[in-house]
Chains A and B, each alone.
Chain A
Amino acid sequence: MPTKILVDGIGKSFATDQGTLHVLDSISLEVGDGEIVAIVGPSGCGKSTMMNIIAGFDRPDRGSVRVDGVVQSKPSSRGILISQAGSVFPWLTVQQNLMFGLNGRAHDEKKQLADHYAEMVGLKGFEARYPHELSGGMLKRAELARALVVKPEILYMDEPFSALDALLHLRMRNELLRILEQERHTVLLITHDVEEAIHVANRIVVLSIRPTTIQATFDVPFAHPRKLSSAPVQELRTQILRELGVDGYDA
């Protein structure tokens, strides 16, 4: 598997009223082409800062991020960020949102692509709706479809489903897995949900508290569909939770 994303010793500090805040301390990570890597860590550990830097929205103080060997200096449509807050434009319809990122194509072609992906995420029939007319789950589907339609090589997902209720969360995870089977993407998924990480990822990276470093890495060798209640999965889950400082966890 060729290397897709190479994170090489990135560090980041912010100046605050109380002095300098060291958020990231030399993080190095290699993500293979088509790999799904989940990043878990305690809250406030700088996961989002790290994601912003990797996706090109922010610059590291030290180190570098390379995608396909090229230094990442700004965001591009080759890697789309999906964040917890969501960024579906409320003033555009679902279809207009999906067509938004399709630069330089004929209108009909854009429309066709948009409708194809709307159908893929289960939004067929809702193309003319405005986001405020959709439920929270449908809004996430729209966000996912808008990212997929530009055929990005990488999906940067920062707690994408955290704002959803537990049932919807699980359903969206299954949807994501189904879609990732059809369209091969490299995925970097930030989550605070260990179960979600095990469900989706090939590899799980555990971050430490600030200043953040990589504390441990776990391979997830189980074939899809994964049975989350199986003994090996539960064993892995306990190990990861122990890394996160949740000792004596008996599920």
Chain B
Amino acid sequence: MIAAKRVLPSVAVIALIIGVWWAIVVATGSVVFPTPWQVVTGTIELIRDGTLWGHIGASLFRVGTGFLLAVTVAVPLGLWMGWVKGAYITLNPLFQMLRPISPIAWIPIAILWFGVGNLSPIFLIFISSVFPMVVQTIAGVHTIEKRYLRAAANFGVSRATLFRQVVIPAVLPQIIVGMRIGLGVAWLVVVAAEMIALRSGLGYLIIDSRNAGNRYDLVIAGMIIIGLIGLLLDGLMRLLEGLRVVRWRYAH
């Protein structure tokens, strides 16, 4: 009952939007813009001929590879920059300058360097998700409470223990926040990147559906699928917040 009460308002809003959309398309008699039902039949068509899974798989592969690459670089780099003041002073201005450049602006350079294969979108995803994760990790190190570092100093533990049992677990919640932001941006970017070139992926599906005969039912189907997968990915990241080792951060 309580769960139903929580879900009901958002379901109602979505139903209302679909209703209004349907009514407008019917009222204006548009031949290009599809009704919700046409989107559903379009989606079924994509599932039947098997192309949908191919596109989803291609997009997820690119996001997965680029994102994991970014995590492997961002977390150690962020820990280092957060811990070593010299590294922070040296590299932070550069990062602050690179960060506001939209990943979309990198597309021409990506094509120049990596061509129109899988590498370009992977590079773009890497670029887009690495900065928020570096920034969050640095912030995590900088906000470790002094009393914990002092306690570690008091017990005279080794540097390895200090990192393994104090610094990394203290920063982990912030790293997870960074990963959530990073994956969100990565998903935004992969779709944009796939619109430029390539012959697979959900971004390609959208552009190709428009170019090949104004199939706006498939365009909107693609958009909705992107939204749903984005929601799912964020949900997966949220699961990490439930891990026992980081629950202290969210328990209060």
Contact = CB atoms under 8 A, between A and B. Distances in A.
A81 B158 contact: no
Given A77-B156, A80-B155, A100-B165, A130 B247 contact: yes
Contacts of A21: none
A92 B169 contact: yes
Q: Which of B148, B244, B248 has the most CB of A within 10 A?
A: B248
Interface string A73-92: 01111001101011101111
Nearest to B151: A87
Contact of B148 (A57, A80, A89): A89
A229 interface: no
Question: Which interface class (under 10, 10 to 19, 20 to 34, 35 or more) fits A?
Answer: 20 to 34
Question: Which interface class (under 10, 10 to 19, 20 to 34, 35 or more) fits B?
Answer: 20 to 34
B85 interface: no
Interface in B197-252: 244-249, 251-252
Contacts of A74: 153
Q: Which of A80, A86, A89, A92 has the most CB of B within 10 A?
A: A89
Contacts of A103: 155-158, 161
B148 A100 contact: no
A55 B155 CA distance: 12
A22 B147 CA distance: 24
Interface in A43-92: 55, 57, 74-77, 80-81, 83, 85-87, 89-92
A74 B156 CA distance: 10
Q: Is the interface of B mostly helix, strand, loop or mixed?
A: helix
B61 to A, nearest CB: 34
Interface in B3-35: none
Interface of A: 55, 57, 74-77, 80-81, 83, 85-87, 89-92, 96, 100-101, 103, 130-132, 150
The 5 closest A-B pairs by CB, nearest first: A101-B155, A90-B248, A87-B151, A91-B169, A132-B251
Given A86-B147, A103-B161, 18 more contacts: A76-B154, A76-B156, A77-B154, A80-B155, A81-B150, A87-B148, A89-B148, A90-B248, A91-B170, A91-B245, A91-B248, A92-B165, A100-B155, A100-B161, A100-B165, A103-B157, A132-B247, A150-B155
25 contacts: A55-B154, A57-B153, A57-B154, A75-B154, A76-B156, A77-B155, A87-B148, A87-B150, A87-B151, A89-B151, A89-B166, A91-B169, A91-B245, A91-B248, A92-B165, A100-B165, A101-B154, A101-B156, A103-B155, A103-B156, A103-B157, A103-B158, A130-B244, A132-B247, A132-B252
